[in-house]
Structure 1
Amino acid sequence: MEILLKRSYFEKGTNGALFVNGHLICFMIELPWRENKRNISCIPEGRYEVVSRFSPRFKNHLHVLDVPGRRLILIHPANDALVDLEGCLAPVSQLSGISKGWNSKAALNKLLSLCYQAYDKKEKVFIKISN
């Protein structure tokens, strides 16, 4: 399965829209582009494999693999990128500003459901990020 993230860059953050098979799934909030610097930048545009992950803090969420110069890039719930993210991505149901949104847990659950359907069919999941 291929997930497409179309980004818009702003000085104070990055907003995006997430599509699967041409259908809008949710929106995405991220930190601003700061040359891929760890903990303060969104990740570079490109195509990355996404796998399922569990942690006590975020419960079920997703892990973006093989990001150049970075590690442990997650897709997890957050409603304010500047407060809650350190380089990760957060799905939101609706955008409420630059790098801010609402109902992140609901948006993540929607995305997880689609990914788990692909994993159940033994499909790999990739995210393609572009502007």
Structure 2
Amino acid sequence: MVLVLIRTYFPEGTQGFLEWNGTLVCYTIELPWLENQRRISCIPEGEYVLQKRFSPKFKWHLYLQNVPGRDFILIHPANDAKKELLGCIAPVTKHTGIGKGSASRIALQKLTTLIYAAMGCNEEVKIKIQSNPSTPIRMTR
């Protein structure tokens, strides 16, 4: 199973939407692209294996494996990228501004229900992150 995260970059934050088999699962918010700097930038585009993770703070959420130059990149609930994210990805039900969204916990529940079902069938789940072809601002490597 491969989920596709299609991003649009802005100086204040990164907006996205997450699809599976061409169907919208949820929207996403992230920090802006700042050359993959720890704790202040979104991660590079690419394909990453997802795994289940539990923490007392976020409960059940997702972990992206082998992100270059980074560790503990998660998909967890947050409604304001600049206030609540340190390089992670937050699913949201809708965008409310650049790097902002609403009903993140509901979006995460929808996402994890889909992904955990696939993982329960011993299927590897990946996330492919790419830029939106119509994006006015693009990430540079």
Task: Tell me the number of residue pairs that the alignment of Structure 1 and Structure 2 aligns.
Answer: 131
User: 2: distance between equivalents of 1:90 and 1:12?
Assistant: 15
Gaps of 5+ in 2: 132-141
1:42-53 map, 5 Å? 42-53=42-53
User: 2: distance between equivalents of 1:53 and 1:120?
Assistant: 14
Q: Secondary structure at the match of 2:112?
A: helix
**Residue 31 of structure 1: how far off its partner (Å):** 0.1
2:14 corresponding residue in structure 1: 14
1:90 corresponding residue in structure 2: 90
TM-score (norm: length of structure 1): 0.99
Question: Kindly, what percent of the aligned residue pairs are identical?
Answer: 56
TM-score (norm: length of structure 2): 0.92
User: 2: distance between equivalents of 1:120 and 1:63?
Assistant: 16
Q: Which of structure 1's runs of 4+ aligned residues deviate more than 6 A?
A: none
User: 1: distance between equivalents of 2:113 and 2:127?
Assistant: 15
2:123 corresponding residue in structure 1: 123
RMSD of the TM alignment (CA)?
0.3
Gaps of 5+ in 1: none
2:113 corresponding residue in structure 1: 113
* Counterpart amino acid of residue 83 in structure 2: V
User: 1: distance between equivalents of 2:65 and 2:107?
Assistant: 21
Deviations 1:7-55 (A, max 9, x none): 0000000000000010000000000000000000000000000000000
